[in-house]
Amino acid sequence: MKISNVIAYPVWVGSRNQLLVKIETDEGIFGWGESGLAGREKAVAGAIEHYRELLIGRDPFEIGGIWQDLYRSQYFEGGRVLTAAQSAIDIALYDIKGKALGVPVYELLGGKQRDFVSTFATTIASPGPEMIEQAKILIEHGWTAMRLSPSGHENSEIKGVYEPREHIAPTAKWCTKAREELGEEIVLGIDYHHRLTVAEAASFCQKMPIGTLDFIEEPIRDETPEAYESLRTMTNVPFAIGEEFASKWQFLPFLERGITQFARIDVCNVGGLTEAMKVAGWCEAHYIDMMPHNPLGPVCTAASVHFCAAIANMSWLECRSTPVETHLGFDNREIFPVQPELDGANYAVKPTPGLGIEVNEALLKEAKFEFWQAPRLRRRDGSVTNW
């Protein structure tokens, strides 16, 4: 069997673009992958077009060797654009190999270690009574772990202005109220989307009683591990870090220095399943649980479910198809007629060969790419800040 074609589909699905990749073989077996790096799909599609020339004629079973070839066969190795492209290719190769051998992808990763994958959900309302009501709805539907959104998140995308200091106190107040109303058994976290500085993140955490939050996700940017080490001395709230990381090397200092407690790995950004399994092994050795980032479509979800099924150190998989997040449309049923299905708050681990998904390629060919840019935020003085 040889790879005969590699096709990239950067198309609008629901409320954002997805970059889906199909790899075809001369025996008629094909696989699907998905790339992350939302908002830069055309850049990644260009990398995939380049990689296509290196893949035609290769044996799709040589997944590890292909990964190394794509990563190392240039002077300027790695980087988020290239590893996002590699991720989609890697996932599609696992889909091909699973289908060819008649086994689910998790069998290629060592076999399943669980029958279902638990998820965490996200409330989308600004901190306040509605946020707590959404949390209660999620609990009614079976979720015991959830993530809250900080104050100011909703208006910033409309007005383009975000001032962290204006929102820290009200967010802390409503996180405390959420803990009081939802009880001690529910896992509560918050995603600050790397919007804060070290001082701002410390102030936020210090405004709440100990035990209010079970994790804080991406409070500051990840470029400087030493900044996270400094923040670690100012708060005891566990950190959930890593959704932006594009290789095992980016994870390394956060694991070896004990900076993070949950690894927010993204199989569609980090280099695919091949790289994700290596990171999971490192995390297991450091008693760190995986908490995969899963903000894309059903191909990403399927790959993440297989990954979660095959590892020992698993906490929760992110889920964006919940009773309080029905507006995104990433799981379009016409484009993805067969996809992972929730049973309450869990994804079942099914024995379907490959990833276990089906894609309506005819609809992808009709779909268009639509320019989308993440909100470009500024402070009141006009200076640029993080989204």
Burial class (CB in 10 A: 0-12, 13-18, 19+), 7: middle
Distances (CA, A) of 145 to 115, 138, 189, 284, 330: 19, 9, 8, 21, 22
193 is an active site residue: yes
Choose among 356, 340, 248, 260: nearest CA to 297: 340
CA 50 to chain centre: 25
Q: Which of 193, 194, 286, 327 is catalytic?
A: 193
In one letter, which amino acid is 376? R
Q: Are 314 and 117 in contact (CB under 8 A)?
A: yes
Report the Cα–Cα distance between both ends of the chain, in Å, rounded.
45
Among the listed residues 153, 167, 194, 293, the single catalytic one is: 293
Distance (Å, whole) CA 61 – CA 45: 23
Residue with tokens 């049973």: 343
Decide if 347 contacts 317 (C-beta within 8 A): yes
CA-wise closest residue to 133 among 83, 76, 177: 177
Sheet holding 16-25, edge to edge: 3-13, 16-25, 30-35
Answer yes or no: 327 catalytic. Answer: no
Beta-carbon count within 10 A of 381 CB: 6
Alpha-helical runs (H) found in 73-143: 80-101, 105-108, 129-140
Q: Which residues are catalytic?
A: 193, 293
